[in-house]
Chain A
């Protein structure tokens, strides 16, 4: 495969935090227009990899190309070319759905004449147009996610990153969200790069699957390929066979502690 057919190309990517090697020399290609699942137990290096792909962290070594641009050398070009739905919330609660979209359009330099039309189109797509003037703090978890997806697509990116987009959502909402994403993938050729812990989502949606563990890439194939490689009955079995039964403990960082505190104190402000 030539690099020009790849939406994302990663070679020997490594990230060290002091003594800890979070990502250890991984390489993979994501062809244009596919749905790519990036799996691994907690703390395997998934989020760190996404951070490097999306310009939020600098690699210690190795090279990355996202839509033909190097995130280290040309961060602004890379940023314009992808949309992202983060693992945790990233909306402004005190603004309305429309205002969150409008702000995004302004930051991404969406032509002002096109902005209202595009916001309408995207909000209608995720079925939130009738709630456009509601403050985001009144939204449920599922509505927030839909709004984040609409926002991530507002500047018509070629790649959409989704970091555990369906965590904490009920099956109805999960199905809904995946139907939007698959639709965009099919109709517009959007490349989708996602992480999840729900193996059924992967089986249903992913064209290719990569599994990382302890910072290393341990599998990169189709769902069938990985199941076959592990000699298991399902992807979930294959996943556990490849990554082991050991439970990964992640220390709660200050963010989690803070959120818990904020929860204990009720709504902020």
Chain B
């Protein structure tokens, strides 16, 4: 065994989990899939008093589909998206992205809620849920609240979630039939953490043209100029590419932490390829 000693509880429902977490001033951690948390415990990087195992709580494993959106319980696993066991409100985008997260052995355990709460800057879901305009439902001892995914991520491993908050579910609005999307990541070895990620979602009927860059900046970067340049763009053309390159440069000028020319090039390329993937759909 490698982690330092800790207490373990397996609450039966979300209410019990909230209590187990809020009884402690600090040091409670939630175990969803454990694919990042347990390695961090093994390396003794993450201080822990009590581990609260929420992985089997029914209401966190469920999926609820309405006419306009799909709500995923926090403990829905990447592999369930990949296998099409849950509906995809993003017309294939979530399924495609899930299938390239780490390795199958990790996707069988890792969860969307765990990934979003940890907010590893290189995690795939962050830019995806932001670009799709998802909202996040949070449970705490004070009750329930919702926030936009775009307002959740503050920086690397940092979200607006407090010590006693539990991410309960993620609601993703359905894309219209004419929507197009693209996702691209630069990665040196299959399954590794990416160096850059980018999501593009174009849905004129829903007035959505989102471009989000991840993994490099202090927090995920919403690229409004690039989104505007994609507005009304038909298929891929030389003119589109020229306009996109200019817009990407303007957006990246607003980034607070891109280290050097090499990283800048990676960012430009990632966004351009994600946009191209959306336009050729």
A binds B: no
Residues of B whose CB lies within 8 Å of any CB of A are none
